[in-house]
């Protein structure tokens, strides 16, 4: 009589041996049978695997409390600390005075009289910059060319006994030189200003123009340098704001653009670091004065 949990026993069944072989449990392999392999009944021609195969102890894995189904990483096993050379550490260490290496130019202490009138009392002044001298290239070239051309023309007309035309040429030269002087003065009074709250551009001699943008409204900032700008160290800053109308967007020919970029970005994202550096510099200055 067959088993109630399976088909009736049939001695002539051709698949009986295969079913018995497939359903027979595989014995666990002992430590002397090899690394996770052994021969078992019905498997004389091939290896059998234990439950712990592939989960042996090794660097980076725990050897206790393991079920054989999950790997447990040991955070301290096999860890090698990074190798940092002395040259790499030299740029990170503080100097003899205890101050870390600077990434920006020293901050100015006080605003000029031209700029101070546009700052309110609770605003922290960070610096002001005139445009690069390349901003004067066009008027200076015009002045030099006018000097040579009108000088030659005045000499030629003087030889022709045409006094009225000579006078006109000289007056024209004075007019060109006056225009060049005006451009130089306008360049001198043109300032880019940074505070802890905003960026500003102040320019104009007779008609004064003041444009500003709060730092909290600056959504993107970049600077561009042409090959000439990289050689002479100047660039153009572009400020993007969330508003549609922008009083201040593009500032051309600013000097030291990389240093200025770091200064503005630090003021936007790390104002506490700026305040800490200013306080440390003030304490060092007082200590030097006391010494």
pLDDT, residue 118, reads 92
- Cβ pair 21, 11 in contact under 8 A: no
Identify which has the larger pLDDT, 282 or 224.
224
In a domain, 228, yes or no: yes
Q: How many CA atoms lie within 13 A of 262 on its CB side?
A: 10
The residue from 171, 189, 207 where one domain ends is 189
Percent of the chain with pLDDT over 70: 55
pLDDT at 58 over 70: no
Contact indicator for 268, 215 with CB cutoff of 8 Å: yes
28 occurs within a structural domain:
no
pLDDT for 212 beyond 80: yes
Name which of 149, 250, 252, 268 is nearest 198 in CA terms. Answer: 268
| 219 and 286 fall within a common domain | yes
**pLDDT at position 185 over 50:** yes
- Domain carrying residue 177: 129-189
Both 135 and 179 in one domain: the answer is yes
Instruction: Please enumerate in sequence order all residues whose Cβ is within 8 A of that of 218, keeping only pairs 6 or more positions apart, or say none.
Output: 199, 239, 240, 241, 268
pLDDT, position 142: 96
**Residue 286 counted as domain residue:** yes
Give the pLDDT confidence score for residue 162 in this predicted structure: 73
CB contact set of 290 (below 8 Å; sequence gap of 6+): none
Asked, for residue 234, whether it belongs to a domain, the answer is yes
Task: Count structural domains, the chain.
Answer: 2
In a domain, 161, yes or no: yes
Instruction: Please answer whether residues 87 and 103 qualify as being in contact, where contact means their C-beta atoms are separated by less than 8 angstroms.
Output: no
Q: Are residues 176 and 221 in the same domain?
A: no
Residue 97 lies in a domain: no
- Round to whole Å and give the CA distance between 156 and 149: 11
Residues 6+ apart with CB under 8 A from 170: 150, 154
Same domain for 274 and 230, yes or no, is yes
pLDDT in tens, 166-177: 888 889 999 999
Average pLDDT of the residues in 62-68? 43
Q: Give me the mean pLDDT over the 227-244 stretch.
A: 88
Say if 117 falls within a structural domain.
Answer: no
Q: Which of 65-74, 83-92, 260-269 has the lowest mean pLDDT?
A: 65-74
In a domain, 244, yes or no: yes
The answer to whether residues 230 and 167 belong to one domain is no
CA angle 72/73/75 to nearest 5° reads: 145
Q: Which of 189, 205, 238 is the last residue before a domain boundary?
A: 189
Q: Does the global pTM surpass 0.85?
A: no
pLDDT-based confidence at residue 30 (cuts at 50, 70, 90): low
């Amino acid at each position: 009589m067959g088993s109630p949990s399976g088909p009736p026993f049939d001695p002539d069944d051709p698949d009986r041996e295969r079913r018995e072989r497939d359903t027979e449990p595989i014995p666990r392999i002992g430590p002397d049978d090899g690394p996770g392999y052994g021969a078992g009944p019905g498997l004389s021609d091939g290896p059998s695997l234990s439950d712990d195969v592939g989960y042996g102890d090794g660097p980076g894995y725990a050897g206790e409390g393991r079920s054989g189904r999950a790997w447990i990483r040991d955070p301290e096993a096999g860890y090698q600390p990074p190798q940092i050379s002395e040259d790499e550490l030299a740029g990170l260490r503080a100097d003899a005075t205890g101050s870390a290496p600077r990434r920006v130019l020293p901050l100015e202490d006080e605003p000029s009289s031209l700029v101070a009138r546009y700052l309110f009392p609770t605003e922290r002044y960070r610096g002001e910059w005139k445009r690069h001298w390349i901003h004067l290239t066009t008027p200076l070239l015009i002045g030099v060319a006018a000097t040579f051309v009108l000088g030659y023309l005045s000499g030629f007309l003087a030889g022709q006994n045409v006094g009225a035309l000579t006078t006109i040429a000289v007056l024209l030269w004075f007019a060109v030189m006056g225009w060049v002087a005006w451009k130089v003065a306008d360049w001198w009074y043109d300032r880019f200003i940074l505070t802890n709250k905003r960026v500003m551009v102040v320019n104009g001699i007779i008609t004064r123009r003041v444009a500003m943008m709060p730092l909290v409204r600056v959504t993107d900032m970049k600077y561009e340098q042409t090959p000439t700008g990289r050689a002479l160290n100047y660039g153009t800053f572009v400020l993007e704001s969330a508003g549609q109308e922008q009083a201040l967007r593009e500032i051309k020919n600013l000097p030291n653009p990389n240093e200025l970029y770091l200064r503005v970005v630090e003021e936007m994202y790390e104002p506490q670091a700026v305040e800490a550096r200013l306080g440390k510099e003030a304490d060092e200055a007082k200590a030097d004065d006391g010494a």
